[in-house]
Amino acid sequence: MSPMLRDIGLLALGVTLLLLALTIFGERLRNRSDQPEPAVEVFMTRVDSWWAMVVLFTLALLVGPKAVVLLFAIASFAALREFYTYSARARADHLSLALAFYIILPAQFLFIAFDAPRLFGVFIPVFVFLLLPFVSVLRGSADRFLSRVSEMQWGLMICVFCLSHIPALMWLELPGESGRGMLLIAFLVLVVQAGDLVDFYIGRRLGRKRIVEGLSSKTWEGAAWGIAAAALLGLILGWITPFGPFAAAGMAALASACGQAGNLILRAIKRDRGLRDWSHLIPGQGGFLDQLDSVIFAAPAFFYLTRLWWLA
Amino acid sequence: MNLVSVPRRLAARITGQAIVLFARAITAVNAEWRGVGPSSRQRVYFANHVSNADMPMIWSVLPHHLRQRTRPVAAADYWLTNGVRAFAGRDVFKAVLIDRRPDARNDDPMAAIIDALDTGASLIIFPEGLRNQGPEPLKPFKSGLYNIAKARPDVELVPTWVANLNSVMPKGEVIPLPLMVRVIFGAPVALHDGEDRHGFLNRSAAALLALKPEERT
């Protein structure tokens, strides 16, 4: 067995055991009372969604890089759909939005699939940023033009550009260690999620000082607990990364910090649009953007820092 | 059973499932049962009409067992113009087809609707008549809804708002945008004792309009 397959197997085993423990824990909570408790039911639907995600992701890892890219391209499509459903737009933007969904998004993920870093790094932030407003302006409406094109570009940056840096991680590998980049994806997703969960379930009970009063119940203490938990998990999972244990802990802490900041930013956007969740597509979690917000914001920072690491 | 019709019915079932899957994949269409739950009670869902895709959206969000017994009331002059549409209208949606051109029809449209109700089917109707392509959110209702309420008072009249479909495919555009569509079902309206046609139609239109989500731009 190759070391790569062994590591995927070990990781999948570890995560499966963890989810099994959570499922048993939830079922015991369920059996404790005769009537279904809403909090327990929400927890259980979340655990079910995690099962589905872990199974899908593991299957994609086993099939290979193209399957991983496809999985994230689908998530990106769903996220962009959630974002644009509530963004400012006019009739004149119809073609630009269609291009975003049907041309720009697939192109970005094709650049990822065929590992063209010079293209995927600049395509959306530079070329699309300059050219897409031109498509909107050709249709002749200048009403709220800046808001419309800005929101269009924000949607592409968050839901396509940033999100596409998650699968892009798989191309970051040392010479002679083919395929190990895919494990970096699992590393990033696991540490960021762990940070969020610790922040949510533990930090908010101990936390005192709100980060943004009136917007989110996130507290400085909770955020610190989340970052610490991510660092600890990073230390434990250091063996699947090329960083070494302590650098892995540092990268995990950084990813969790970026992720929590992203969570607050998207919270502000949702508040502005009067939304609680982006959609109902993932049972117990809300929409794709609700589920992925922190990983989306952590991915570019994680990607470029990791690349610098090797270039240095 | 007619043997010739078996493959045709199978094709209709498969097409129906494909339409439901397609609607969900592109628009993630989602039912919000706000005023009523899904139930096997006989109902007339009356909805706003901005696009030809309104009816398939409502049809798609109904649970399978209710969809089987729910028939849209649709325009014969649209659905019978070619073979594909006729197959979709007659076999897939099992539409109650009404001719909108008074001079071209030889049967009473109201009688066809009442006949369909008397077989136990639920209906989907668009009381605005033609598609609404103007700026106002809802056009004045035609009398059909009142006639149904009067003739069959036991049938629940459920206001049904299809939200956001206009952005998916505005008039004159060819490519649909994959934006999320919601179908919101409100609390049923019933004809009060002694209520006149005009009052009832206005009240039903107001009940439907009240479901429209607030737009923030």
pLDDT band at B2 (very low <50, low <70, confident <90, very high): low
Least confident of A30-34, A272-276, B16-20, B27-31: A30-34
Q: Give the CA count within 13 Å in the CB-facing half-sphere of B197.
A: 10
Q: How many domains does chain A have?
A: 3
Confirm if B88 and B6 have CB atoms less than 8 A apart. no
Q: Which residues neighbour B107 within 8 Å (Cβ) at sequence distance 6 or greater?
A: none
> Rounded CA gap, A257 and A222, in Å?
11
> Rounded CA gap, A98 and A94, in Å?
6
Q: What percent of chain B has pLDDT over 90?
A: 59
- Mark whether A197 and A274 lie in a shared domain: yes
* Closest Cβ–Cβ partner in B30, B175, B217 for A98: B175
- Mark whether A149 and A86 lie in a shared domain: yes
* Closest Cβ–Cβ partner in B177, B178, B180 for A279: B180
Residue B127 lies in a domain: yes
- Mark whether A88 and A216 lie in a shared domain: no
Please give the structure tokens belonging to residue A195.
């940070």
Interchain CB distance below 8 Å, A84 and B179? yes
Residue B92 lies in a domain: yes
Q: How many domains does chain B have?
A: 1
Residue B120 lies in a domain: yes
Q: What is the pLDDT of residue A263?
A: 93
Confirm if B45 and B122 have CB atoms less than 8 A apart. yes
Phi-psi region of A64 (alpha: psi -120 to 50; beta: other; left: phi over 0): left
- Count chain A–chain B contacts defined by CB atoms under 8 A: 38
Q: Decide if pLDDT at B120 tops 90.
A: yes
If DSSP states are collapsed to H, E and C, what string results for A7-71?
A: HHHHHHHHHHHHHHHHHHHHHHHHHHCCCCCHHHHHHHHHHHHHHHHHHHHHHHHHHCHHHHHHH
B162/chain A closest Cα distance in angstroms: 14
- Mark whether A185 and A252 lie in a shared domain: yes
Residue B80 lies in a domain: yes
Interface test with B, best of A80, A89, A94, A269 (most B CBs within 10 A): A94
> Rounded CA gap, B116 and B113, in Å?
5
Confirm if B104 and B77 have CB atoms less than 8 A apart. yes
Q: What is the pLDDT of residue A311?
A: 55
β-pairing verdict for B182-185 and B156-163? antiparallel
Contact list in B for residue A100 (CB cut-off 8 A) is: none
- Mark whether A13 and A132 lie in a shared domain: no
Confirm if A167 and A300 have CB atoms less than 8 A apart. no
Burial class (CB in 10 A: 0-12, 13-18, 19+), A134: exposed
CA nearest to A273 within chain B: B216
Q: Decide if pLDDT at B1 tops 70.
A: no
Interchain CB distance below 8 Å, B28 and A98? no
Domain CATH for B145: 3.40.1130.10
- Mark whether A136 and A166 lie in a shared domain: yes
* Closest Cβ–Cβ partner in B178, B216, B217 for A81: B178
Interchain CB distance below 8 Å, A94 and B217? no
Q: What is the pLDDT of residue B185?
A: 97
Query: How large is the average pLDDT for residues B166-193?
Result: 90
Interchain CB distance below 8 Å, B28 and A274? no
Name the domain boundary from A10, A39, A63.
A63
- Mark whether A223 and A296 lie in a shared domain: yes
What is the maximum span of chain B, computed from C-alpha positions, in angstroms? 55
- Mark whether A76 and A99 lie in a shared domain: yes
B171 touches chain A (CB under 8 A): no
ipTM of the complex: 0.84
Residue B216 lies in a domain: no
Task: Report pLDDT digits (tens) over A73-89.
Answer: 999 999 999 999 999 98
Query: How large is the average pLDDT for residues B133-148?
Result: 88
B180 touches chain A (CB under 8 A): yes
- Mark whether A166 and A185 lie in a shared domain: no
Q: How far is CA B213 from CA A61, A286, B208, B210, in A?
A: 41, 19, 11, 8
- Mark whether A294 and A253 lie in a shared domain: yes
If DSSP states are collapsed to H, E and C, what string results for A177-209?
A: CCCCHHHHHHHHHHHHHHHHHHHHHHHHHHCCC
Q: What is the pLDDT of residue A167?
A: 94
B216 touches chain A (CB under 8 A): yes
Name the domain boundary from A63, A82, A102.
A63
Q: Which residue has the higher pLDDT, A171 or B44?
A: B44
Q: What is the pLDDT of residue A312?
A: 55
Name the domain boundary from A109, A136, A171.
A171
Residue B214 lies in a domain: no
Q: Which residue has the higher pLDDT, B107 or A256?
A: A256
- Domain hosting B103: range is 5-209
- Domain hosting A219: range is 178-312
pLDDT band at B94 (very low <50, low <70, confident <90, very high): very high
Phi-psi region of A176 (alpha: psi -120 to 50; beta: other; left: phi over 0): left
Confirm if A108 and A167 have CB atoms less than 8 A apart. no
Q: What is the pLDDT of residue A174?
A: 65
- Mark whether A216 and A309 lie in a shared domain: yes
B28 touches chain A (CB under 8 A): yes
B164 touches chain A (CB under 8 A): yes
Average model confidence (pLDDT) across chain B:
89
- Mark whether A159 and A241 lie in a shared domain: no
Which residue numbers in chain A have pLDDT < 50? none
Q: What is the pLDDT of residue A308?
A: 85
